[in-house]
Amino acid sequence: MLKRQQSCDAQPPVFSGRSEFYATLRERVADSLKDVNRWGGARSQAKAAIFLVAYVVNLLAIITVPYPEMQVALFVSWGVIHAGVGFNIFHDSVHGSFSRSMITNRLVAFVSCSLLGVSRYFWYHKHNVLHHRYSNVNGWDDDLETRGSLRLSPGQPWSMRYRFQHIYAPLVYALTTFEWIFIKDFVQYFTLEMNRNQSVPPMNKQDHMEFWVSKAAYILIAIILPLGFMSPGYFIAGFVLLHLTLSLVLASIFQLAHVTALCAFPEPDRGSRMMGTDWAIHQMKTTADFSTANKWITWFSGGLNYQVEHHLFPQVNHVHYPMINRILVGTAREFNVPYHCYPTYIEALAGHLRALKSLNVPA
């Protein structure tokens, strides 16, 4: 599946067998889920409906308000809504945790890709396969790859350009979705290379069709339709604001879960490729929760502030993460396994900036 690797990473990292901690945790979580809908049911569907309606209403407002300055301003709120669609619909559906039916998950993922402009196929291999399997392992976790703009792992080569990355990182993050939607997806499509280290499997006919139809739908919805009601100059200003907003909101959630002062960046043994722990304990060491008492962040982010729970149970809908958290914390304490959590969002943000600053100097 993964064809091309750096010479030092020719073989994938290997985790030990399932630990007693993970076996016990899975048993306890399964018992807690036996009387509920693990796919979220009405709660998850209601949230999806709210964000979809908000997306359409915001778009209608953009094309109907008579004042161009207000049209431009509405792109900011549309960017926030885009992020909500990504967190609460796209993310769960690609993981197969939105619906019991895989056909429904695939359809919901296609609709959300058409609204957001991203490729489901390449996100699946970036996120579900590489990031979830090898979180914080340099050369394998694609979330650490920034094509030289930031140094996010101590295993990455240092350069003088990273000296002030903790200051300029927001500028890099602000361009994320521009690069993702209009450059990265197409480079990956024509090369089948996730990044300079990783390749992805060939696409079948359905994958090709899904890629092009969702891209065309996005261009129609987010570009051609608003342009019919706005002057090009105002539209460009609004579209830039949309993606700056969307990019920063996405980064403000995703980047606080792994690249922090609390999280480890383990490397496999060069000879045996063994990681030294089982996969679940690796996730505990490389992932952090934050703001778990903040109901608004939990609601808006699709439970991604419960990142540890999501990594251990990605096919369980996010509405159940607070319940899983209570089981996880107790089980981790019982087995003396580390559990990382920043009590507040500000502390998590500070932890991320400390990590960036610690990586701006040679190891």
pLDDT per residue as tens digits for the range 115-142: 999 999 999 999 999 999 999 999 899 9
Through-space distance between the first and last CA atoms of the chain, rounded to whole angstroms: 32
Residues 6+ apart with CB under 8 A from 244: 79, 174
How many angstroms separate the CA atoms of 109 and 207, rounded? 12
pLDDT at 2: 40
Q: Return phi, psi of residue 260, to 5°.
A: -140, 170
- Decide: 255 and 107 in contact? Cβ < 8 Å: no
- Decide: 214 and 111 in contact? Cβ < 8 Å: no
Q: How far is CA 291 from CA 6, 286, 337, in A?
A: 37, 17, 20
- Decide: 12 and 134 in contact? Cβ < 8 Å: yes
- The helix or strand, by DSSP H or E, that contains position 15, with its residue range, turns out to be strand 14-16
pLDDT tens digits along 233-259? 999 999 999 999 999 999 999 999 999
Task: Answer yes or no: is pLDDT of 156 > 70.
Answer: yes
Place of tokens 């790859």: 145
The predicted model gives 321-341 an average pLDDT of 97
Residues 6+ apart with CB under 8 A from 67: none
Structure tokens at 264: 């480890």
pLDDT at 10: 66
The predicted model gives 289-297 an average pLDDT of 97
